[in-house]
Structure 1
Amino acid sequence: MKIRDLLFYLTVVSIAVTLTHFFIKEQVGAPINNIDYLQNNWHKNPTNEITLYSAEWCKACQATKEYLNKRNVNYKNIDIELSSTGSKLLKENNIDSIPVITFNDVTIVGFDANKLDTLVTNIKVK
């Protein structure tokens, strides 16, 4: 009886290990801090235009819009609630925070006045 129980438990464990290995896809070389990685590599926007991914209900998005409008910065706003493309881009890249601001090779996730200052200054200098 004990040998049968032992064989049963070993079978269950081996099946569990096999299924776990089959269903879990390990991300080899995945970045430790996803936000830092995304800010550097997420979306290259070569259009020489600021793109803001936002939503109406998002307070940080409203603050970003106010910041850009106050400084007379032109930007393209993509409301992720209304744009399936914008929403899809964020989901595909595991971005779960808004606003997202892209300009050429720069991506800013979240409202960060210091990073926006640097971006706006660099744009106006050019």
Structure 2
Amino acid sequence: MNSKHGKRIKTILTYGAILALGLAIGRLGMQAPQWFKSDYVEGNYQAYYPDATTKVVLYGTKTCPFCQKAREYLAQHNIAYADIDVNQPGQGQADYRGLGEKAVPVLLIGNRRITGFKQPVIEAALAQLKPQRAE
């Protein structure tokens, strides 16, 4: 009787381990596309800038906490930007839809489109905007 119970416990533990492994693989599998996704998309976004002097555009909403973080970051660093509320009808909302994005914030910085508040990526894009000094 003792070996019968031991075998049963071993079988239950084996099935439990297989189930846990399957769940872990499934969870990681859902995140895998993000591992291969670039932090930004390069392109010609000139048509999305309201004028020739604007180099940063933020598409967001008033209620999005990550949009607010992006606004705070830009304000703290004295970076001029166009702030477009994608919930307001008009050209800004149409432009946002034209980008094909589904999330906010979306930042256009020079020739880079960044989805989400990714501070190191934003800093790198802003650094790219600064004119290089001759040495």
TM-score bracket relative to the smaller structure: 0.5 to 0.7
Q: Do residues 102 (structure 1) and 108 (structure 2) align?
A: yes
1:94: how far off? 2.3
Alpha carbons of structure 1 residues 83 and 119: separation in structure 2 relative to 1, 3 Å: farther
Give the TM-score, by structure 2 length.
0.57
Measure, in 1, the Cα distance between the counterparts of 2:114 and 2:40: 8
Give the TM-score, by structure 1 length.
0.61
User: Counterpart of 1:74 in 2: which secondary structure?
Assistant: coil
Measure, in 2, the Cα distance between the counterparts of 1:76 and 1:83: 16
1:52: how far off? 0.8
What is the alpha-carbon root mean square deviation over aligned residues?
2.7
User: Counterpart of 2:41 in 1: which secondary structure?
Assistant: helix
User: Counterpart of 1:101 in 2: which secondary structure?
Assistant: strand
Gaps of 5+ in 1: 1-31
Gaps of 5+ in 2: 1-32
Q: Do residues 86 (structure 1) and 88 (structure 2) align?
A: no
The structure with more radius of gyration = 2
Q: Give the aligned length.
A: 93
Please give the per-residue CA displacement for 1:36-90, whole angstroms capped at 9, x wherever unaligned: 497234x613735211111101111000000111111111111112242222222
Matches for 1:107-126 after TM superposition, within 5 Å: 107-126=113-132
User: Counterpart of 1:120 in 2: which secondary structure?
Assistant: helix
Which one of 68, 79, 91 corresponds to residue 74 of structure 2? Answer: 68
Number of the residue aligned with 1:39: 41
Measure, in 1, the Cα distance between the counterparts of 2:40 and 2:124: 18
In the alignment, residue 40 of structure 1 is paired with which amino acid?
A: E
Give the conservation status (yes or no) of the 8 Å contact 1:73–1:120: no
Greater relative contact order structure (CA < 8 Å, 6+ sep): 1
